[in-house]
Structure 1
């Protein structure tokens, strides 16, 4: 069973992992915290983008020799293959890590998986620690992986007087943003490096074919800024995972404001200056990491 120190470290790793949202795709956003043999935090890291060091590599580099005999706390199972970056399970073994605490098992793990290889090398491994919390960050990547299309968020305004309005949002945590005119741009301009090249606008075809093409290009999360029309096609096809509704203050007493429809459940409501932001998620998420 994970200790209170390890649980606290996992929550820190989850928070750190979110720094990779919007730039890691097609790789997952992962965070890692390294504890020394006495349980003190000596290093942490996250994966920024494909081709660069993974979370474990960055955390071990920060910890240095203090990692030997210690514990690595990581949000996703250490990878078991060599790509542009070394296999993380090999880095952990070479660093002398004695114990690894994992939140979510990696469905893409090669061979028997990083956990099996670590155990074979004599490393104590515990899996499933705060998995539900880790999935708050990993959910778009896991969902996209499970069905072969990006996780789609639809944001619109419930202003009864002007449905063309869309909420002003921080878009940096999304791989790609689709404007009301159908134009595509990265949420963080240049954030993915050379891992994918986007067309200037949405490709032609059915919603599923369009999303499959974007997935093949490396996109794992997509934000659609659209009042109705375009985004409704994707929602009606069952391809929208999350809805963000901007509810202006005056709409509270106006009968025309539209909120999420059947098939979605409200997961958060908060006030932002003079309006309310309602977040709703699909009641039947298409993929779970279990």
Structure 2
């Protein structure tokens, strides 16, 4: 069982892992916290982009010798293969940690998997620690692996001048690998943020065949895509593949009213409302595609 300190550390690892959203793809956004023998945090790190050190290595570097005999708390099973960087399970073994807690198992892990190799080295391993919470960050990456296409978000304002919402959309852009603008152009969420030779922006527009468009987006290395604007043709082209809808409904305080066409049915059929956030100028609705158990 995870201790209260370890659960706190896992939530910290989940929080810092989000720093990699929009930059790590095609790799996953991962966070790691190192606790010393007494359960005190002594190092943390996250993965920023493919080709850079992974979260575990960054956390171990920060911890130094204090990692020996301690605990590594990581949001994803440590990798078990040599890629652009050495396997993280070996870094943990070499650092002589005594215990590793992981939230989500890695479906891309090679061979027996990093967790098994750690156990074979005499390290105590606990799986599934706060898994559902870690999926708040890792969920879109896992979705792309299971479906063979990116996780797609459609964001727009209902009954308002969408040009006025660009500043609001800027925060969404930085957490997505690719953005399809209202004129159909495709660009990197944060220009130049991904690793070299591991990510590319599609050079041409998406065309009129959903299957080919999704394939092109996936082949770019993108794991998350943001479609901007209510009248964006890409939203119609990829309608069956949209996983999340974010809608800003205009209104004012203190007497708030919803206005604009479609406001009364802004959450589309087949989607499940997951969040509602008011501000002085609008209410933001977030809805995800419904599953059978919802």
Q: Given the two structures, how large is their TM-score scaled by the length of structure 2?
A: 0.91
- Kept in 1, the 8 Å contact 2:249–2:259? The answer is no
Q: Which residue of 2 aligns with 1:151?
A: 151
Greater mean alpha carbon deviation, residues 210-219 or residues 27-36? 210-219
Report whether the alignment pairs 1:224 with 2:231: no
Aligned counterpart for 1:233 among listed residues 234, 237, 246: 237
Residue correspondence of structure 1 range 140-179 to structure 2 within 5 A: 140-159=140-159, 168-169=168-169, 170=171, 171-179=173-181
Q: Which residue of 1 aligns with 2:259?
A: 254
**Whole-Å Cα distance in 2 between the matches of residues 44 and 13 of structure 1?**
8
- What secondary structure sits across from 2:257 in the alignment? helix
Deviations 1:261-287 (A, max 9, x none): 1110111111133111110011128xx
Greater mean alpha carbon deviation, residues 266-275 or residues 70-79? 266-275
Greater mean alpha carbon deviation, residues 116-125 or residues 224-233? 224-233
**Whole-Å Cα distance in 1 between the matches of residues 234 and 129 of structure 2?**
40
Deviations 1:89-144 (A, max 9, x none): 00000000100000000010001100010001110000000000000000110111
Which blocks of at least 5 consecutive residues in structure 1 are unaligned?
286-290
Moved over 4 A (4+): 161-167
- Kept in 2, the 8 Å contact 1:175–1:187? The answer is yes
**Whole-Å Cα distance in 2 between the matches of residues 75 and 253 of structure 1?**
40
- What secondary structure sits across from 1:277 in the alignment? strand
Q: Which residue of 2 aligns with 1:83?
A: 83
Which blocks of at least 5 consecutive residues in structure 2 are unaligned?
none
Aligned-residue offset at 1:17? 0.2
- Kept in 2, the 8 Å contact 1:157–1:165? The answer is no
Q: Which residue of 2 aligns with 1:284?
A: 291
Q: Which residue of 2 aligns with 1:112?
A: 112
Deviations 1:32-77 (A, max 9, x none): 0000011110000000000010000000000000000000000000
- What secondary structure sits across from 2:273 in the alignment? strand
Q: Which residue of 1 aligns with 2:193?
A: 191
**Whole-Å Cα distance in 2 between the matches of residues 54 and 133 of structure 1?**
20
**Whole-Å Cα distance in 2 between the matches of residues 5 and 279 of structure 1?**
32
**Whole-Å Cα distance in 2 between the matches of residues 163 and 189 of structure 1?**
22
Aligned counterpart for 1:272 among listed residues 279, 287, 290: 279
Aligned-residue offset at 1:234? 1.3
Residues 263 and 166 of structure 1: CA distance in aligned 2, closer, same or farther (over 3 Å): farther
Report whether the alignment pairs 1:41 with 2:36: no
Greater mean alpha carbon deviation, residues 169-178 or residues 28-37? 169-178
**Whole-Å Cα distance in 2 between the matches of residues 163 and 173 of structure 1?**
20
Aligned-residue offset at 1:26? 0.1
Residues 144 and 135 of structure 1: CA distance in aligned 2, closer, same or farther (over 3 Å): same
Greater mean alpha carbon deviation, residues 268-277 or residues 38-47? 268-277
- Kept in 2, the 8 Å contact 1:34–1:42? The answer is yes
Q: Which residue of 2 aligns with 1:209?
A: 212
**Whole-Å Cα distance in 1 between the matches of residues 124 and 184 of structure 2?**
50
